[in-house]
Chain A
Amino acid sequence: MKVGMRRLLAGLLLLLPVVMPAALADEVDVTADVTALGEQVETLKKQVLDLNRDLFILEEELLFPATTQTTIFLAINSGLFFALDAVELKIDGKMATHYLYTEREVNALAKGGVQRLHIENLRSGKHELVALFSGKGPNGRDYRRAASYEFEKGLDPKYIELRISDSAARQQPEFSVSSWE
């Protein structure tokens, strides 16, 4: 092979992009400056996260004091018989929230995630919650079900869970509401 051709080939081989494998192929070629910048960014991230934690707690204390705080969570068990689209929540007859779900959120719920659906301040005493779930039921049909729950709010924060689960025996979804002790 001629020298010119060899030279061209050598150049082309150098041009071949090196594909990095998952998790392993990173070349450790960063300069000291870049490493220092990366470390500074990590330190800053930690400081901002610390601040976010403190601000998050402060915000909750300000907006939802423990004596009145009532939090509604939503969880899904399995979800074979019901694909959640939306939840409408009323507390003491007043609309509290209407939440539409993305596919990503539904997947996160199916993997064990629990959504903090709603938080508000309620006085001590008896209250009633009504949740209306809508989505696709068995055989892909439109499906709407309501669940109601009466609860007593004391001076401690109140946590209530809306849960959608599958009833294998009935081949139907089940909707329950309970206090999370």
Chain B
Amino acid sequence: MRRLAAFCLLLYSVVAAEAVAQAGETLPTAVKDPFYGEVLFDFHQQHYFSAITHLRAAQQQGRLPHHGVEAELLLGGLYLAYGMQKNAEVIFTQLLQQSVDPAQRNRLWLALAKINYQRGYEPEAAGLLQRIDAPLPRSQENERQLLASRLLAQRGLYAEAAAQLASYQSDSLDSDFAQYNLALDHIRQGRDAEGRMLLEALLQRGGSAEPERAVLYDKGRIALGYSYLQQQKFAPARHWFEQVRLRSPFASQALLGLGWVESGLGNGAAALAIWLPLIERNGSDPAVLEGLLAVPYTLNQLGAQQQALDHYKQAIELYASELLTLQGITSGMNFVALAQELADPRSAAEAGWQWRAEISPDSILSPYLYRLMAGHEFQEALRNYRDLLYLETNLTQWLADLDAYEAMVDVRETGYQTRLPLILDTLAKLDSNTLQQQRDKSALQLHEIEAANDATGLATADEQQLLARLAQIEARMQRLEAGVDVEKQQRKFAVLKGLALWRLETEYPTRLWQTKQQLQQLDETLKLSTEQQRSLNTVLERSPNDFKRYRQRLQNRRQQTVLLQQQTKRLARQSEAHLQQLAQAAVVGIKARIEDYQGQALFAAAQIYDALLPAQKEQP
């Protein structure tokens, strides 16, 4: 997890255009295309599969015009995070061939060096590191120094590796891990003094509040204790064993070591005082299994042969019981089910290679598979398996979706066929030219009204009716003979006509404006109608072919999906078999070790029997 967490940091720093802030935090990326932001949204949630899919779709659809190089960098980083190193390498190499700025080039060299290191190409990784020609931002500089140190150690250049680490300016857990590993390399190569020096320097740093760091420090103390013990330097060995925390997972190893310190100093009784409580602990713990031999060995050394014999018998029984348990596990072990549980693709389905499986402490396999689970090979195999399960789920989902989309195309085509006559009829009736002529005629009328300032031209139907009636009345009044009380009627008529005209004249400006607005709206409607008509014509022309094309595309994708699903299933089965082999090999290794202990116990017990036998014969 640490390895890939560091990768993710690198990834983010590579993709984020902004420099890494002093506190190690990164500034939000400036998003200029929304679809690039969508990819970042997936990326920051560690949904790497979705992020890659969205990014590549957006690239294909030309939706990332402002993030060309940035998007490629991000894609390379996403491939890395999703365990696709070869694809990442291709992208980074291509980017290096383009003219990217020097700072970016150095980051790319580092990314490529790490990819090569992970793939086992150490000389290439070292060569790539040497191409970095300027200091990197802090987090990447730390990455570079750690990698350089590890590469030097692998070449046996321990002093240079240590010097590289000494210049590492970080109090991060990564540097502690690197120092621990370098120290252990020294010890394994027989340079105990150098190894111990590195370990002691590490432990003097203190600050073990983080659980991971506290566990690492306990491991360091254990390694120091046993290194001193092997060289019979009992006082410092005791010191480091005593520093191991009581609740540490390594407490049993520390107790065993402390017992050996006392034994080495000739304090057999003191050693027993430590080991007797130790062997009451969980019998699956390797330190307890060894303690079961150490107790009778020391009792025998102290001359308590009968007690030693009893303890050897107890050890033999416990070893037999452990072997029986292991037998039961191996014969009835459904490792495929366990692997499926460990690799459950529903949890953090797209987490990529940051993900690390953890076995439940309650599992019956937990004590036996602990070391296996800690191993790189097993975790990598499990990640591959988890990814395969996810791919299988993804493809199954697509197949179901494809069913729906095919049905949808069918429904659309049926709907199209049903509505086609109606549409054709509507289109036939829809004469855009006539509509446009009518509009032009109205516009001309309006222009004439405005030019003549003719308020009656904008009269409503009721008003026109009224004006017509007034005109009729006026004509009738003119036909009336003299003598009739015309004058009075004419005055009354003049008032009525005046009222009607006054209303038309006063409302004329408003009506003129409103009519112009209506004409404008009519223009827009006509334009939209023309566009829709054009669009409709295009649809009518294209639809039959579109349905055909969609069906063809869906069918092609279905074939691809089915094919890939078969490949996924085949690889998942291979992966299961590989995991099973690893697990069985681990259990067989444990079994062989217990059998070895059992053999030693049986042999020692037989020796004591032999020694006791003459004494018993002599007794009356």
Contacts and interface: CB of A to CB of B under 8 A. Distances in A.
A8 B177 contact: no
A145 interface: no
A181 to B, nearest CB: 11
Contacts of A75: 31, 34, 37
A162 to B, nearest CB: 11
B86 A113 contact: no
A166 B385 CA distance: 45
Given A20-B181, A104-B45, A52 B38 contact: no
B181 A18 contact: yes
Q: How large is the interface on A (under 10, 10 to 19, 20 to 34, 35 or more residues)?
A: 35 or more
Interface string A96-140: 000000001101111111111000000011000000000000000
A71 B38 CA distance: 12
Interface in A6-30: 6, 8-13, 15-30
A23 to B, nearest CB: 4
Interface string B35-67: 011101111110001001110110011000000
A132 B56 CA distance: 32
B150 A9 contact: no
B286 interface: yes
Contact of B38 (A46, A54, A113): A113
A72 B151 CA distance: 49
Nearest to A29: B377
A101 to B, nearest CB: 11
Contact of B45 (A29, A60, A108): A108
B5 interface: yes
B148 to A, nearest CB: 10
Interface in A35-74: 37-42, 44-60, 62, 67, 71, 73
B3 A13 contact: no
B92 interface: no
Interface stretch (B99-107, B439-447, B563-571): B563-571
Contacts, number: 253
Contacts of A13: 226, 230
Given A9-B230, A105-B45, A112-B40, A46 B87 contact: yes
Interface in A66-101: 67, 71, 73, 75
A168 interface: no
Contacts of B52: 49
Contact of B256 (A12, A21, A24): A12
B37 A114 contact: yes
Given A5-B260, A8-B290, A23-B146, A62 B409 contact: yes
Contacts of B146: 21-24
A61 B560 CA distance: 19
A151 interface: no
Interface stretch (B388-396, B414-422, B472-480, B491-499): B388-396
A159 interface: yes
Contacts of B286: 12, 15
B486 interface: no
A21 B177 contact: yes
B84 interface: yes
A55 B150 CA distance: 43
A30 B378 CA distance: 10
Nearest to A112: B28
Given A23-B147, A114-B41, A17 B557 contact: no
Given A49-B56, A51-B557, A23 B387 contact: no
A37 B567 CA distance: 12
B251 interface: no
A96 B372 CA distance: 50
A53 B60 contact: yes
Contacts of A108: 40-45
Given A25-B181, A51-B561, A116-B41, 9 more contacts: A5-B264, A23-B146, A24-B149, A25-B3, A30-B380, A42-B87, A45-B387, A73-B38, A111-B40
29 contacts: A1-B232, A12-B290, A16-B184, A18-B181, A19-B219, A20-B3, A21-B174, A22-B5, A23-B114, A23-B143, A23-B147, A29-B376, A34-B377, A34-B578, A41-B83, A54-B557, A58-B405, A58-B553, A62-B405, A108-B40, A111-B26, A111-B44, A112-B30, A112-B31, A113-B37, A113-B44, A114-B36, A155-B531, A161-B34
Closest 9 CB pairs of A and B: A114-B37, A113-B41, A21-B177, A112-B28, A108-B44, A22-B2, A28-B120, A22-B6, A112-B29
